[in-house]
Structure 1
């Protein structure tokens, strides 16, 4: 019989930094346990594909963290709700990114931002992505080796996000430092334990720095608009509505952290998966049309966003599990994607599998706006590197960041 403490133990194992290299055995244990509930902290963890899919589709599934029982208890006690969310405090003094809002606010903001994310804008970046990738691979060829993170994925993603937002590339080192810190703010330690993790103050300070930076950049763009997303966000209108300055800043934070970190991880993880199965590396090098299948299978097999957070806006029933109103839900995508009920032989990286099923870009109203851009960046980089270096091989073992939610590598050496 399951002991009272077992759910917390299983969750602790899954979230442990010691499991970042290979969290999948711990995720399998969670999935085989079934939906995990810890009433004392108002937490429900879902890990099967059917449950995760149902939770993301459910009309009562909310994204506004202020609806959570833990936040409401803090408010009732006269406390300011704990800081969590992307790049700052999700409280009355801050405007959260639309990722953390529900309709009608989410609908309004997403519709406005989508206008600045038109296919035309994305397609204009293609030539720049190709040129950036080619230059990086030229350097790799000269050196006889490269790092798939720092020598390919990271500089490609940074070049694109800086170009997209209109951020000077010379500011990239500061952005890189802030992004690394802020990517950890989406980890579910507050939801799982109620405690602020070590180093959280540094992350909040990074968020404050980033908000100040964007505020100054917005002022410059108001007087001198450019051909970039930031200028478009300032100018975008719909029925007389427009984004406030705080809404623009929160959106830029979201794009920088979620988009940048996820893209870097996706590209590097694809390289690792193919080099561990050289047939896949050779197959893509010979047939560029396979690129999108490699990207989709990587999103399933080893997704950059390992989990999503939701709040039960009302009492919900997922499968046979009743989730109380206010419960924070951890939707464990990385476990769901390897559910054999959804993807047969799930622990095998196989871009040729029939019907790749994943929730890597979310679902429904919160489906990732940047998905087309992420797919474009990764497809171009992976096609080019496999074609240029058909005999590439791993130069060492990957090193991972401690991040749980936005899991990714620090380094991945490759010999060409």
Structure 2
């Protein structure tokens, strides 16, 4: 029965009349997605997308309603992944349930309160000067060359280096962090229909977890300014973040810092 359902879903997605965001994987549609968006708004403004396995809401008023009245706590649980035939993805679900992005109050309020202590005005000012220095270093050879690829030479490396600096890990690790971020972001919402990508993301999550756990161990021995250390030392009314919460929210910060700026 599940195989039949998945086959039907795939047929629906390949059908030219389908409104699935699956079509954004087509380079021609991606180059001009606005006809698809117009159809979504006019024909199915609240649309169940079998590819994303989620509801897609496209009208402004409806989006505002969703943001104000519906729960953000929609992260698939390990049990839900098992029901979808993907029990191996349980560790991804377990990690995502610790990220403030997927929480409602009071859990979100608690985590946000502790995390906000990492973004003090003094820390932001330090980051500002570091970002300027990073930008100067990136621009120097480009100015000498008299030409540049805005994406390849600046927009891609800058957020990767800044993210490493912000986290408090070696900037020499920026390429590895960027690759992990791309793998993690690519599979979000696509677990059901991209098992190969999901497997790669599972490996990526395992590697990131080991990486940040080791970073925490090093910072306990030799503290260094950065988000990880700020998470480690944040305390509010005697409450502190657990190591797993620190790792999960370092990952979501890293991914958000790179995938939304490149």
TM-score class normalised by the smaller sequence: 0.7 to 0.9
Partner of 1:291: none
**Which of 154, 157, 168 lines up with 2:156 in the alignment?**
154
Query: Is the contact between residue 214 and residue 249 of structure 1 (CA under 8 Å) also seen in structure 2?
Result: yes
Q: Helix, strand or coil for the counterpart of 2:93?
A: coil
Q: Aligned partners of 2:140, 2:243: CA distance in 1, in Å?
A: 41
* CA deviations over 1:160-208 (Å, ceiling 9, x no partner): 211111110122222222122112122x234xxx434432211210111
Q: Aligned partners of 2:253, 2:176: CA distance in 1, in Å?
A: 16
Which aligned pairs between 1:198-237 and structure 2 lie closer than 5 A?
198-237=196-235
Structure 2 residue runs without a partner (length 5+): 1-11
Q: Does 1:52 align with 2:76?
A: no
CA RMSD of aligned residues (A): 2.9
Q: Helix, strand or coil for the counterpart of 1:54?
A: helix
Which piece of structure 1 moves more, 41-50 or 25-34?
A: 41-50
With normalisation by structure 1, the TM-score equals 0.53
With normalisation by structure 2, the TM-score equals 0.82
Partner of 1:126: 128
Which aligned pairs between 1:7-406 and structure 2 lie closer than 5 A?
9-12=18-21, 14-18=23-27, 19-38=29-48, 43-58=54-69, 60-66=70-76, 83=89, 89-91=92-94, 96-186=98-188, 188-190=189-191, 194-264=192-262
Bigger fraction of residues in helix = 2
Q: Aligned partners of 2:160, 2:84: CA distance in 1, in Å?
A: 41
Matched length: 247
The offset of 1:78, in angstroms, is 10
The offset of 1:38, in angstroms, is 3.6
* CA deviations over 1:94-127 (Å, ceiling 9, x no partner): 7531112222222111110011122321122122
Q: 1:96 to 1:15 in 2, by over 3 A?
A: farther
Q: Aligned partners of 1:39, 1:134: CA distance in 2, in Å?
A: 44
Partner of 2:7: none
Structure 1 residue runs without a partner (length 5+): 265-416
* CA deviations over 1:339-382 (Å, ceiling 9, x no partner): xxxxxxxxxxxxxxxxxxxxxxxxxxxxxxxxxxxxxxxxxxxx
The offset of 1:229, in angstroms, is 1.5
Bigger fraction of residues in strand = 1
Partner of 1:312: none
Higher RCO, 1 vs 2 (CA within 8 Å, ≥6 residues apart) = 1
Query: Is the contact between residue 14 and residue 27 of structure 1 (CA under 8 Å) also seen in structure 2?
Result: no
